[in-house]
Amino acid sequence: MTNAIYLTTTEPYAGKSIIALGLMNLLAAKTEKIAYFKPVISRESSEKDNHLEMMASHFKINLPYEDMYVFNRNQVVRQINAGKEASVIDFIIDRFKKLQERHDFVVVEGTDFMGGSTNIEFDGNISIAKNLGIPAAIIVKGEGKSVQEIVDTAVSTTKGFTDEGVQVLTVVANKINPEQEEEIRTQMAKALPASIIVTSIPSHKDLGNPTLKEIYESVGGKILFGEHLLSNPVNTSIVGAMQLHNCLTRLSKNTLIVTPGDRGDLIIGALQANISRNYEKIAGIILTGGLVPEPTIMKLIEGLETVVPIIAVESGTFKTVTRVANTQSRISLENKDKIALAISLFDKHVDVKALEKKIISFRATGITPRMFQYQLVKRAKEHKKHIVLPEGDDDRILIAADALVKQNVVDLTILGNADAVQSSFKRLNLEWDKDKVKIVNPAASERYSEYVQTLYELRKNKNLSIEMARDLMLDVSYFGTMMVYKGEADGMVSGAAHTTQHTIRPALQFVKTKPGITTVSSVFFMCLPNRVSIFGDCAVNPNPTSEQLADIAISSAETSKMFGIEPKIAMLSYSSGSSGEGEDVDKVRKATELVKQRRPDLKVEGPIQYDAAVDPSVGKKKLPNSEVAGHASVLIFPDLNTGNNTYKAVQRETGALAIGPMLQGLNKPVNDLSRGCTVDDVFNTVVITAIQAQQ
């Protein structure tokens, strides 16, 4: 079941608020704690977002206004221009998760499309919905479009979302011609997948007409009278240029009269008409040309019991009328009638029962790279661990260390000469936080002798002498690993300046493997554009046997679960199913059998080719009865040559972020960096090491 939905459209004034109000009303009846969230609002000014105010007030949402949005539109543009798109998404995920934790349901509203680049906004909405892992409700504006145009927009918008893995629960064509309601619904149902609920809502003039307040916002000016009646709806407007008797013939219900400010006769006549039982109520009067009525006329109006809003503007009549005509209506907090009408329109036209059922039966699938990274950092922070970084003479390590402690992700020990490390911090313009970052020089450490003795005891039957142990313990990899072995650090990350062998050999020698596991192996978390896949083993075992491959697959599946990804294991080879023959295929076939015997609970397929493993159409063709084919999340390579080259090829050619290698199977976490690593790689590897240490 989902506990959130993303409301989105493709253009301004599509009428999102009807759907938002209708949905909120539906959910408020079912759940106690409901939140409304609009990650990106349009307004930059101190004035609040109309929808957020309305939802908070109408549905009594007990949330500070600041918690209901994250950015305004211009802030997002500036962040994107500075190349900080990822951090925009991170902030949004963070705020959303907090709301989600504290509420039964969160309705998330997409952007307003009030800016220039609709394409960017369209993609932005898809990206947010995808990264929040929630389904979408799409609202298509029907006003001014033919039936075919409405259907085409519905199909292409839906495709945009579903292609990126966002499920679409419903598509609503809003503000349509009432006579085409049935036709539009039928055509959309034909063109869209059957699983999507299609709805068409006819335009309703009482919703479409602006209020005097909205008109005042677009024409500006000064309110002379009747400020308390600004919520008056405006059905039509006339220009009061003719004589009063002619003007009266043109008055109908809720008419706005636009007239030069010196037309005292017309003003008084209109106010009389408003209270006359022979004329309809008028909406208000706008006085143009910077003219206000004579003092005697003003005095007369002041003495009247019933007035309508009278607004004086500087602009001329023509300009004012154009602005009035272009004013867009919206549903706002003050206009209770419009809110009630919107909810009743929703209830009347939307198949509420079917939508309710869809919301209840929706299950999130997959995990996006940003969701994944967000969750990693969040988990690491939950139980803060202490990680040792042996390479204090590498700038990348120090820059990452600074970010890690600033974000309160871990506590750290950095190995190296204290003076040298401190002056590097200074040179890099970083602050050394003494409470969170210890600097230890192995040669000068008070722990050195005890560590030497322990290493000697552990390795003397492997021909290690005490002298050799003394030498080895001056090596930062041995010292750091011994800190982990002794429990004086929870994990180690090294390898920015050392080879894989150098980094992991001490761990293989004395941290050793977990009970039931004989092979230490590794995985990469491959953050592909729309999912995270696990690749194993691309870093440790050059030529694994069938037994080792089975070990690698089982460890990788456990890792996958540990990091919230459902394991579907593909044992990769150059042939799929029973078709291929040869030593290499047989090795994989046997490994697959071993996994099945040892862990019947795991979903595993092998031998299988990469395309059949990840592409649903190829998977269906080659292995139609497989639960894994086409949907594999854990990809096990037959040897190091294949694995290492594939991960690097995917990383370089697709721009995918590769987090790892993360070693698995060791009693305590030790992880290896590549010598070409970036600061982000160091950061991410420390984060996953901290999570491993929590297990």
* Interface contacts to ligand ACO, rule CB under 6 A: 462, 500-501, 504-505, 508-509, 513, 519-520, 539-542, 644, 661, 674
Closest CA to 280 of 300, 259, 256, 297: 256
Q: How far is the CB of 465 from ligand ACO (least distance, A)?
A: 15
> Residue 221, by phi and psi: left (phi above 0), alpha (psi -120 to 50) or beta?
left
Q: How far apart are CA 411 and CA 18, in angstroms?
A: 50
Amino acid at 1: M
Q: How far is the CB of 522 from ligand ACO (least distance, A)?
A: 8
199, β-bridge pairs: 172
Q: How far is the CB of 343 from ligand ACO (least distance, A)?
A: 57
Q: How far is the CB of 122 from ligand ACO (least distance, A)?
A: 38
Q: How far apart are CA 76 and CA 84, in angstroms?
A: 9
Q: How far is the CB of 495 from ligand ACO (least distance, A)?
A: 8
Closest to ligand ACO by CB, 177 or 546: 546
Closest to ligand ACO by CB, 180 or 509: 509
Residue 476, token pair as written in the block: 């930062």
Cβ pair 685, 659 in contact under 8 A: yes
Closest CA to 612 of 647, 574, 555, 652: 574
Q: How far is the CB of 687 from ligand ACO (least distance, A)?
A: 17
Q: How far is the CB of 641 from ligand ACO (least distance, A)?
A: 10
Number of H helices, E strands in the chain: 28, 24
Closest to ligand ACO by CB, 258 or 554: 554
Closest to ligand ACO by CB, 72 or 509: 509
Q: How far is the CB of 513 from ligand ACO (least distance, A)?
A: 6
Closest to ligand ACO by CB, 210 or 643: 643
Q: How far is the CB of 606 from ligand ACO (least distance, A)?
A: 20
Closest to ligand ACO by CB, 37 or 485: 485
For CA atoms 223, 224, 229, 234, the dihedral sign is negative
Question: Is the peptide bond prior to 537 cis by the omega test (within 30 degrees of 0)?
Answer: yes
Q: How far is the CB of 451 from ligand ACO (least distance, A)?
A: 18
Q: How far apart are CA 683 and CA 401, in angstroms?
A: 7
Rg of the Cα atoms in the chain: 33
Q: How far apart are CA 624 and CA 530, in angstroms?
A: 24
Closest CA to 666 of 526, 522, 554: 522
Closest to ligand ACO by CB, 185 or 505: 505
Q: How far apart are CA 632 and CA 615, in angstroms?
A: 9
Q: How far apart are CA 270 and CA 281, in angstroms?
A: 10
CA angle, corner 136, sides to 32 and 57, nearest 5?
A: 40
Residue 237, token pair as written in the block: 């407007």
Closest to ligand ACO by CB, 313 or 532: 532
Closest to ligand ACO by CB, 167 or 546: 546
Closest to ligand ACO by CB, 102 or 652: 652
Tell the residue number behind the tokens 């600074």, with chain if given: 402
Closest CA to 16 of 205, 215, 201, 174: 174
